[in-house]
Amino acid sequence: MIARGKALITGRRLRMILFVFDTKEECDKFTILYEKYRKIVLYTISIYEKDKFQAEDLLQDIYIIIGKNLQKIDMSDEQRSRNYVITIARNYCRSYLRRKSRIEEDSFEDIETVETEQNDILEDIINREYFDYLVEEINKLEEHYKEVLELKYIVELSDDEIADFLHIKKKTVQMRLYRAKILLRNKKGGS
């Protein structure tokens, strides 16, 4: 077994993610996933949680989930790996918000929560099917179109957030989204 610690340094806090891996390959895979996608995961978290200390905790929790699911991640397909990591982050943050809001609710609202969870499960299944189709079609586009579509529909950022993240103008983001949607519609119509 191989133990590997990964230090997370933000502000004045030092956090540590420690995993015990069976092989060096697993350890290396986790390290690559952490180093490669940490910033986009933190950005995804920041959409849901503004408190930096809580965001660090969420980052740790997300990478613990990723560490437990390493076998599901195919490193040869970088796009799929990236999307998988982002999806885990987004879904975990949504669950976190649901748990957080549930704690604040009265006990009378528990019945509504159960119904909401059942609807969320059905919605998640539909979203996963659509997500897989969308990722497949987006991957066929040119890089600059692919990038804005991923940030818009997979990471679910606003146009302003995408512009800020990519260091381009909002109008450029909107134009790329418009053109990418036309390309996707043409592909769908041509299939």
pLDDT in tens, 162-188: 898 889 999 999 999 999 888 888 876
- What's the CA gap between 164 and 173, in Å, rounded? 10
Residue 159 and residue 165: Cα distance in Å, rounded? Answer: 10
Cβ–Cβ < 8 Å for 73, 32: no
32 φ/ψ angles, rounded to the nearest 5 degrees: -65, -45
List, in sequence order, every beta strand (DSSP E) within 2-156.
2-10, 13-21
What share of the chain has pLDDT > 70, as a percent? 70
Better pLDDT: 16 or 61: 61
Please state which architecture CATH assigns to domain 133-191. Answer: Orthogonal Bundle (1.10)
The model scores a pTM over 0.85: no
- Tell me the two tokens of residue 57: 């905790």
Which residues of the chain form CATH 1.10.10.10?
133-191
Q: Where in the chain is the domain with CATH 1.10.1740?
A: 1-113
Phi–psi pair at 9, nearest 5 degrees: -115, 115
What would the pLDDT profile of 110-157 be if each residue is shown by its tens digit?
Answer: 555 555 555 566 666 666 666 667 677 777 889 899 888 878 877 778
E strand residue ranges, the chain: 2-10, 13-21
> What is the third-level CATH fold of 1-113?
Rna Polymerase Sigma Factor; Chain: A (1.10.1740)
95-103 contacts, C-beta under 8 A, 24 or more apart: 96/48, 96/49, 96/58, 97/48
What is the average per-residue pLDDT within 46-70?
Answer: 89
Output the CA torsion 24→61→153→121 (10° steps). 110
Cα(50)–Cα(87) distance, rounded to whole angstroms? 19
